[in-house]
C-alpha cells in the first residue's frame, strides 16, 4: 500500500484527513491534486493559504502550465483575514466566517464543470473555529451531498482544534478516515476506515523548516530596552501614544491566535523564542555605554546562586515597564544547576486565575535563550538552558514559579502541550466579558495591582513576536484569530442594539484605550505608531492580528472588508486600511 493509492479518492465518498498542525495534511491534499488532475476536474477550497501560494507549491511539485482538466479554487482565505484577493477567472471568493458563502462558492464552481469532480477542502479547521458545531451541518448538507451526487471529497482538519465530541461527529460523517501521527523523523498515515482500503499504516519521512521573511529593527528595539532599563533617557519612540500598551490587547491577540493550534503553538513559540540567544551579540553592540557597563559585570556562568541572582536583577530591569511585577530568587530551593524563581503579579497570568493551565506557554523560551546567549558571548559554557513553570496563577496558585536548568527538563514537553481548546475558549470568554464591560459600562479592561500597561518589548513577548517573525503558520493564526475576535466583538455589539457608526466608535474607543496606536478614520482607516508592527522590518504588511480584527469587526457590523495597503514595518509613516 502506498500514499499514491491512498490519494485515489473514490467517487460517492468523503475522506477526512486528521492530524496535528504541521503534519503534512496540506501537502497530502496538493499531492492528491497532482495524482488526479489527469482524471477529473478539481475544486480546491483553501482557507489558510492564498491561492497564489497553493499554485506556487503545486508548480514546485510538478504541475504543468496546461492541465488536462480544470483546477478551480474557492479562495476562503483573503476575505476571512482582510487581505486583497487577485481577480482570477478560475477562482471564487468566500469567507470562513460564513458557511453559506462557502457552500454557494462550491456550487458555483461545480455548475461550471458538470461532470465527475474531486473537491479538496483544505482545511475545515478555520470554518470550525469561526462557526463551532455548525460545521457538522455544513459537512452533511454540502460536502456529503456533493459526494452523494457521484463526486469525491477529500477534506482535512487539525486534530485537537475543538471539542472532542465535535471531532468524533465530524469523523462519523466521513466514509473514510486517515489519521496522521508524528514520530521521530517520520509521520505515519493510519487508515482507520476507507471504502476501498483495509486498515493499514504507511510511514514516510518528515521534514519541516520555518519561513523567514520578517525581522526586528534591532537598533530601535535596543534603544527601547535601554530606556526601560533606565540607562538611557529620551522621549518615547512612539511619539503619538507613548511606549506602553494596555495588557488586554496582547492577551486578546495571543489567545485568539492560540485557537488555531493549541497543542503545537506553545512548543513552537518556546523553541523559536530560544533563538534570541543568536541576537545577544548584536543587542550588546547596539546598547549605549552605560548599559554595556551594566552587562559587563554579569558573570560568565550562571550555575551559582549569587550569579543567577544578578541575572534575575537584570531581567527585572529590562522589564521596567511591567510595573507591579517582582521576581524573587528562592535560595532555599536551590540545587546544583537547578534554580527556582517566584514571580508576583505576573503580567502573563494575572487576570486568568484558575483557568486550569499554566500560562507562560512558550514565552519562557526567550529567557532560556538569553541565558545561553550571555554565557556563550562572555566566554562561558555553551549550554542549552530550559525553563518550565512549576506553579501558576492559572492553576490557582497565589504566584507563579519557574525552574531554570542548563539541560533537559522532563516535564517541559507535557507543560507546553497541556492546553486544549476548552481552556482557550474559557480564557477567550473571560476576555470578551471584560471587553463588553468596558464597552457598555466603561469598566477598566484590566485591574492589575501596580499597573495595567506593559512596554512594547513586553508586548512582543506576550504575543510571541519571535514566533511570528519565524513562522508563516503563526502569522496566519494571528490573522484568523483576529478575524474571529473582531467578528465576535461586532456581533456582541449588535446583540446589545449598538449598530453602524456607534458600534464603530465603540471599537475605536477600545483600540485607543488600549493604546494600539493613534487612529484616524474617513475614506480609509489609519493607525500611526501601531504597536503590532512597530520595531518590525518587513517587505509586506505585518499587522496580522490588527488586520484580522478589523476585517472580522467590519464584516459583522457593516458587511465590509478591509485590506492593509500601507504598513510601518515597510517604512510607511502609518498603517492604513482600505474599505471594500
155 contacts: CB under 8 Å, gap ≥ 6: 14, 15, 16, 17, 120, 121, 122, 123, 124, 139, 143, 174
Per the model's pLDDT, the better-predicted residue between 86 and 162 turns out to be 162
Domains of the chain, residue spans: 3-205, 213-242+255-261+421-580, 263-419
Of the listed ranges 79-83, 320-324, 443-447, the one predicted with least confidence: 320-324
Quick one: CATH architecture of 3-205? 3-Layer(aba) Sandwich (3.40)
Q: Is 512 exposed, middle or buried (0-12, 13-18, 19+ CB in 10 A)?
A: middle
Query: SS3 for 224?
Result: helix
Tell me what the pLDDT averaged over the chain comes to.
87
In whole angstroms, give the CA distance from residue 384 to residue 131.
42
User: Taking the CB of residue 205, how many other CB atoms lie within 10 A of it?
Assistant: 7
Residue (of 128, 108, 106) closest to 119 by Cα position: 106
In whole angstroms, give the CA distance from residue 318 to residue 311.
11
Cα distances from 365 to residues 263, 288, 357, 361, 387, in angstroms, run: 16, 26, 18, 9, 7
What pLDDT, on the 0 to 100 scale, is given for residue 3? 81
Residue (of 418, 264, 305) closest to 355 by Cα position: 418
Mean pLDDT of 47-66: 80
Query: SS3 for 429?
Result: helix
Residue (of 243, 276, 500, 443) closest to 367 by Cα position: 276
Give the pLDDT band (50/70/90) at residue 1: low
Rounded percentage of the chain residues whose pLDDT exceeds 90: 48
Quick one: CATH architecture of 213-242+255-261+421-580? 2-Layer Sandwich (3.30)
Mean pLDDT of 184-190: 83
Mean pLDDT of 382-400: 94
Give the pLDDT band (50/70/90) at residue 209: very low
What pLDDT, on the 0 to 100 scale, is given for residue 331? 93
Residue 330 above 90 pLDDT? yes
Per the model's pLDDT, the better-predicted residue between 85 and 457 turns out to be 457
Q: Is 398 exposed, middle or buried (0-12, 13-18, 19+ CB in 10 A)?
A: exposed
Mean pLDDT of 471-488: 83
Residue 207 above 70 pLDDT? no
Phi-psi label, residue 15: left if phi above 0, alpha if psi -120 to 50, beta otherwise: beta
Cβ(182)–Cβ(23) under 8 Å?
Answer: yes
Residue 574 above 90 pLDDT? yes
166-170, 268-272, 313-317, 366-370: which is most confident: 166-170
Cβ(518)–Cβ(450) under 8 Å?
Answer: no
| pLDDT tens-digit readout, 254-263 | 999 888 777 7
Mean pLDDT of 16-21: 90
Residue (of 158, 160, 78) closest to 124 by Cα position: 158
Task: List, in sequence order, every residue forming a beta bridge with 205; answer none if it has no partner.
Answer: 186
Query: SS3 for 374?
Result: helix
43 contacts: CB under 8 Å, gap ≥ 6: 72, 73, 74, 106, 109, 110, 113, 117, 118, 119, 120
In whole angstroms, give the CA distance from residue 17 to residue 163.
17
What pLDDT, on the 0 to 100 scale, is given for residue 308? 92
| pLDDT tens-digit readout, 277-312 | 667 777 777 777 776 777 777 888 999 999 999 888
In whole angstroms, give the CA distance from residue 192 to residue 194.
7
Query: SS3 for 206?
Result: coil
Q: What percentage of the chain's residues is helix, strand, coil (to nearest 5)? A: 45, 20, 35
- Give the DSSP per-residue string, 324-369: T-EEEE-GGG-BTTBEEEEEES-TTTTT-TTSSS-S-TTTTHHHHH
Tally of residues, the chain: 580
Query: SS3 for 400?
Result: strand
Cα distances from 260 to residues 28, 224, 247, 429, 572, in angstroms, run: 20, 31, 22, 16, 30
SS3 for 147-202, per residue? HHCCCEEEEEEECCCCCHHHHHHHHHHCCEEEEEEEECCEEEEEEEECCCCCCEEE
Q: In CATH, which of 3.90.1520, 2.20.28, 3.30.160, 1.10.15 is domain 263-419?
A: 3.90.1520
| pLDDT tens-digit readout, 431-470 | 999 999 999 999 999 888 878 898 888 888 888 777 777 6
In whole angstroms, give the CA distance from residue 275 to residue 63.
36
What pLDDT, on the 0 to 100 scale, is given for residue 265? 80
Give the pLDDT band (50/70/90) at residue 208: very low
**Terminal-to-terminal C-alpha distance of the chain:** 49
In whole angstroms, give the CA distance from residue 73 to residue 67.
14
Mean pLDDT of 392-404: 95
One fold for both 3-205 and 213-242+255-261+421-580? no
CA atoms within 13 A on the CB side of 412: 21
Amino acid at each position: 500500500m502506498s500514499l499514491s493509492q491512498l490519494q485515489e479518492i473514490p467517487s460517492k465518498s468523503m475522506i477526512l484527513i486528521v492530524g496535528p498542525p504541521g503534519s503534512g495534511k496540506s501537502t497530502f491534499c496538493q499531492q492528491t491534486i497532482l495524482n488526479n488532475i489527469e482524471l477529473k476536474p478539481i475544486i480546491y477550497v483553501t482557507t489558510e493559504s492564498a491561492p497564489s501560494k497553493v499554485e506556487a507549491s503545486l508548480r514546485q511539485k510538478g504541475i504543468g502550465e496546461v492541465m488536462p482538466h480544470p483546477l478551480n479554487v474557492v479562495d476562503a482565505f483573503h476575505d476571512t483575514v482582510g487581505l486583497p484577493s487577485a481577480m482570477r477567472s478560475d477562482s471564487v471568493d468566500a469567507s470562513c466566517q460564513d458557511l453559506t458563502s462557502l457552500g454557494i462558492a462550491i456550487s458555483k464552481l461545480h455548475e461550471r464543470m458538470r461532470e465527475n469532480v474531486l473537491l479538496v477542502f483544505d482545511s475545515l479547521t478555520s470554518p470550525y473555529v469561526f462557526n463551532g458545531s455548525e460545521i457538522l451541518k455544513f459537512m452533511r448538507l454540502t460536502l456529503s451531498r456533493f459526494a452523494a451526487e457521484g463526486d469525491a471529497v477529500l477534506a482535512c482538519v487539525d486534530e485537537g482544534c475543538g471539542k472532542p465530541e465535535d471531532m468524533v461527529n465530524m469523523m462519523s460523517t466521513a466514509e473514510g478516515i486517515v489519521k496522521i501521527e508524528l514520530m521521530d523523523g517520520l509521520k505515519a498515515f493510519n487508515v482507520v476506515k476507507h471504502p476501498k482500503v483495509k486498515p493499514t499504516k504507511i510511514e514516510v519521512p518528515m521534514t519541516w523548516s520555518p519561513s523567514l521573511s520578517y525581522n526586528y529593527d534591532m537598533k530601535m528595539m535596543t534603544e527601547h530596552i535601554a530606556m526601560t532599563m533606565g540607562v538611557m533617557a529620551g522621549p518615547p519612540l512612539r511619539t503619538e501614544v507613548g511606549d506602553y500598551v494596555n495588557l488586554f490587547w496582547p492577551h486578546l491577540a495571543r489567545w485568539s491566535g492560540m485557537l488555531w493550534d493549541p497543542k503545537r503553538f506553545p512548543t513552537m513559540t518556546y523553541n523559536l523564542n530560544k533563538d534570541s540567544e543568536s541576537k545577544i551579540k548584536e543587542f550588546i553592540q547596539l546598547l549605549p555605554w552605560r548599559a554595556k557597563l551594566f552587562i559587563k559585570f554579569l558573570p560568565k556562568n550562571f550555575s551559582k546562586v549569587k550569579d543567577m541572582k544578578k541575572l534575575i536583577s537584570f531581567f527585572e530591569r529590562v522589564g521596567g515597564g511591567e510595573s507591579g511585577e517582582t521576581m524573587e530568587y528562592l535560595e532555599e530551593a536551590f540545587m546544583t544547576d537547578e534554580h527556582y524563581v517566584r514571580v508576583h503579579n505576573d503580567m502573563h497570568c494575572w487576570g486568568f486565575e484558575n483557568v486550569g493551565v499554566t500560562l507562560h506557554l512558550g514565552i519562557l523560551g526567550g529567557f532560556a535563550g538569553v541565558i545561553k546567549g550571555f554565557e556563550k558571548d562572555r566566554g562561558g559554557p555553551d549550554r542549552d538552558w530550559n525553563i518550565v513553570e512549576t506553579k501558576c496563577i492559572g492553576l490557582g496558585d497565589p504566584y507563579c514559579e519557574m525552574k531554570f536548568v542548563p539541560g533537559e527538563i522532563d516535564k517541559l514537553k507535557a507543560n507546553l502541550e497541556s492546553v486544549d481548546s476548552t481552556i482557550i475558549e474559557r480564557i477567550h470568554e473571560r476576555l470578551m466579558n471584560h471587553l463588553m464591560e468596558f464597552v457598555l459600562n466603561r469598566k477598566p479592561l484590566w485591574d492589575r495591582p501596580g499597573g495595567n500597561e506593559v512596554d512594547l518589548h513586553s508586548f512582543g513577548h506576550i504575543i510571541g513576536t519571535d514566533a511570528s517573525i519565524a513562522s508563516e503558520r503563526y502569522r496566519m493564526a494571528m490573522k484568523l484569530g483576529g478575524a474571529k475576535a473582531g467578528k465576535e466583538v461586532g456581533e456582541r455589539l449588535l446583540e446589545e442594539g449598538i449598530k453602524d457608526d456607534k458600534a464603530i466608535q465603540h471599537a475605536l474607543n477600545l483600540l485607543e484605550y488600549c493604546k494600539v496606536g493613534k487612529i484616524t478614520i474617513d475614506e480609509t482607516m489609519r493607525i500611526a505608531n501601531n504597536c503590532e508592527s512597530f520595531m518590525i522590518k518587513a517587505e509586506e504588511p505585518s499587522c496580522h492580528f490588527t488586520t484580522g480584527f478589523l476585517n472580522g469587526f467590519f464584516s459583522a457590523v457593516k458587511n465590509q472588508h478591509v485590506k492593509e495597503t500601507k504598513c510601518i514595518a515597510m517604512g510607511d509613516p502609518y498603517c492604513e486600511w482600505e474599505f471594500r
